[in-house]
Structure 1
Amino acid sequence: MKIEGTVVAMVTPFTEDDRVDEAGLRENINYLIENGVDGLLVAGTTGESATITHEEQRRMIDILVDEVNGRVKTIAGAGSNSSREALGLVRYAGDAGADAALVITPYYNRPQPHGLIEHYRMLEEASEIPLIIYNVPSRTGTDIDVDTVSELAGLDGIIGIKEASPDLDKISMLKSRLMELGLDDFIILSGNDNLTLPMISMGAEGVISVVANVDPARMSRLVNEALSGDFESAMKTHYELYSLMKALFIESNPVPVKEALNMMGRPAGHVRMPLAPLRDSSREKLRLVLEELALI
């Protein structure tokens, strides 16, 4: 299984009465595929995994697999800080027909490195689909280290990592270790849009992107240019998108990206509490960026 290129960390659109907007989710799926992305992820951090129910999560996985119908790769957000809950979600994703499951490092309880190894080993042994580790220390309080990732990379069912640490030297250390171990097939995906270009130059295979919700065509172009070795063009596209990359994190993700989609007339709706609507000052800054990119 090879997952590369631009994978979109999709927002979860909500209706006015706070239900998952299933028609809107299907509409967004088709819009993103039509604009050249390589994969779609539901129920990740950008999809408000912390405040959707497991029932909603399972339904979204079903919709993703059904609507995509093999056109691009499908990835199910399936992590939890409870290994038992993560196991149930990973198994469901496999039964639903997803191509892979994204499994966040357990948050809040901050397991030790050997606890992380046992957590992922248990999930890998029970899963029918490949797993991608998701490291996002700013959210979880745990930064999975190079030694731990390298050990997990040796398991057949763990195919890659979404690395959202801002430490670029860690990418070099990880890639170097994987090459030493003969694990060159282990996939590294950027978890930060603004670091995607340098990470690809270091050996990453793509990105799981927030920005691609808003500008899928341009983000896909950036990644394709970089992966093809055309770094001069990729640099130009990176700087075209740089203001958007920053604006979409002006407040907590996914508040700005959902507001951007609402401005564009795309299905998004509100964010669930305790997230709150974008402040007026931030909204105006975001609007200016969208206008500069001719997105509204």
Structure 2
Amino acid sequence: MARSIPPPPGYYVPAVLFFDENEELDIPAIKAHVLRLAKGGVTGILVQGSNGEAQHLSHEERKQAIALTRATLDENGFNNVLVIAGTGAQSTRETKKLCVDAKEAGASHALVLTPSTWPPQMTLENILRFHREVADASPIPTMIYNFAVVTAGIDLDSDIIATLAGHPNIVGTKLSCGNIGKLHRLTSRLPSSDFAVFAGRSDTFLHGLNAGSAGAIAALVNIVPKLHGQVYKFFREGKLQEAIDLQGKLGHGDWAISKIGGVSGVKAVVSTNFGYGGPYVRGPLKTLDAENLNTQKHYQALLDLIELEKEL
């Protein structure tokens, strides 16, 4: 098997998926969000990352969300914006199917979580076997999604990820663990042309770039995509002090969004400030009352960022 090509460097968004008050897909809001993100300059959109509530969707809904994202981009002239699909599931068999579905719906790459229903059974041997078998069967290149918060504490170290990078169809990783040391160990061992290492949080965006990362795939991009583009532009132009100053603001924003309601909080901030969608999530997640945002002590940090975003 020839080596597959990783996603290009840049900044990507694990997009939230909007529902209505009956927990059905809110198609107009989903399309409005995809379009605003594309206009914000994102390199690609991750559908069904942790912010996309993949585990709350049927197979048909997962495929529909991918296809809707791809079609919205293409219909509005954003053909070069990638669509990456989260395809993680609790069995190898289902994960393989979701990778096939993702390809059929228009995704270019698949992002794969390590199964976590039975953590004691996820030995090194089983982790390696799972990711390799999925990559063998996937019609699109796969990436490793490392996020211990949603995998029952399973945290893949740099040795495991580097070993998996030897597979010709495993082409990158999203490190939502926020471990810059791990990121740097990987970038120093693996050329980005073969294996793209992405920071998984906005508060490690610039630090990851300085350590040789391909960029970031981060939740805060849902709210302020243009500001992430500015950090990336400053970095590439060598304007490090400007990049550091703006990165500091993104760091405060990343902390703020983690404190005001998780996935529903992201949706509430977007709907309140950009005029589409609502804060609704599927149970067992709890929907945040958007009217209570102003009572959140961290909300001002996000408002400050949004003001800067709207000036760009």
TM-score calculated relative to the size of structure 2: 0.87
Conserved 8 A contact 2:260-2:298: no
Q: Give the SS at the match of 2:54.
A: coil
**What CA distance in whole angstroms lies between the structure 1 residues aligned with 2:298 and 2:283?**
21
Identity %: 29
One of 183, 197, 204 as aligned partner of 1:188:
197
Could you tell me which amino acid in structure 2 is paired with residue 115 of structure 1? N
Where does 1:266-277 land on structure 2 (aligned, <5 Å)? 266-277=276-287
The verdict on how the C-alpha distance between 1:227 and 1:165 changes in structure 2, with shifts beyond 3 A counting, is farther
What secondary structure is seen at the aligned counterpart in 2 of 1:249?
Answer: helix
User: Is this contact kept in 2: 1:190–1:208, CA < 8 A?
Assistant: yes
- Which digits, 9 at most, give the CA deviation of each residue in 1:38-78, with x for residues without a partner? 11011110011222222211110111222222230110111
Alignment of structure 1 residues 203-218 onto 2, 5 Å: 203-218=212-227
* Aligned with 2:160 (options 148, 158, 161): 148
Cα RMSD for the two superposed structures: 2.1
Report if the CA contact (8 A) 1:12-1:268 is conserved: no
- The separation in 2 between residues aligned to 1:115 and 1:10, in whole angstroms, is 30
What residue number does 1:108 align with?
A: 117
Tell me the equivalent position of 1:167.
Answer: 179
Give the alignment of 1:1-296 within 5 angstroms.
1=5, 2-69=7-74, 70-110=79-119, 111-140=122-151, 141-178=153-190, 185-251=194-260, 253-264=262-273, 265-278=275-288, 280=292, 283-293=295-305, 294=307
3-state SS in 2 of match to 1:50: helix
CA–CA separation in structure 2 for the residues paired with 1:131 and 1:9 = 16
Q: Deviations over 1:61-105 (max 9, x none)?
A: 111222222230110111112111111100111122211111112
Residue type of the alignment partner of 1:7: Y
Q: For residue 123 of structure 1, what is the amino acid of its counterpart?
A: V
Which one is further off, 8-17 or 243-252? 243-252
CA deviation after TM superposition for structure 1 residue 242, in Å: 2.8
Partners of 2:277 and 2:55 lie apart in 1 by: 20
SS in 1 for 2:51: coil
5+ unaligned residues in a row in structure 1: which ranges?
none
With 189-198 and 45-54 compared, the bigger mean Cα shift is at 45-54
| Length, aligned pairs only | 293
What is the TM-score normalised by the length of structure 1? 0.91
**For residues 5-31 of structure 1, what are the alpha-carbon distances to aligned partners after superposition, in whole Å with 9 as ceiling and x for unaligned?**
111110010012211112211111111
CA distance 1:153–1:229, change in 2 (3 Å): farther
In structure 1, what residue type is equivalent to 2:44?
G
Distance 1:247 1:9 in 2: 17
Q: Runs of 5+ in structure 2 lacking a partner? A: none
Q: Does the aligned pair in 1 maintain the 2:260–2:299 contact within 8 Å?
A: no
Shift of 1:173: 2.2
Question: Matches of 2:214 and 2:238 in 1, distance apart?
Answer: 12
Question: Which whole-Å CA distance do the structure 1 matches of 2:173 and 2:44 have between them?
Answer: 15
Larger mean Cα displacement after TM superposition, 243-252 or 76-85:
243-252
Measure, in 2, the Cα distance between the counterparts of 1:283 and 1:162.
Answer: 33
Relative to structure 1, the CA distance from residue 246 to residue 282 in structure 2 (aligned partners, 3 Å threshold; closer, same or farther) is farther
Q: Determine if contact 1:104/1:135 at 8 Å carries over to the other structure.
A: yes
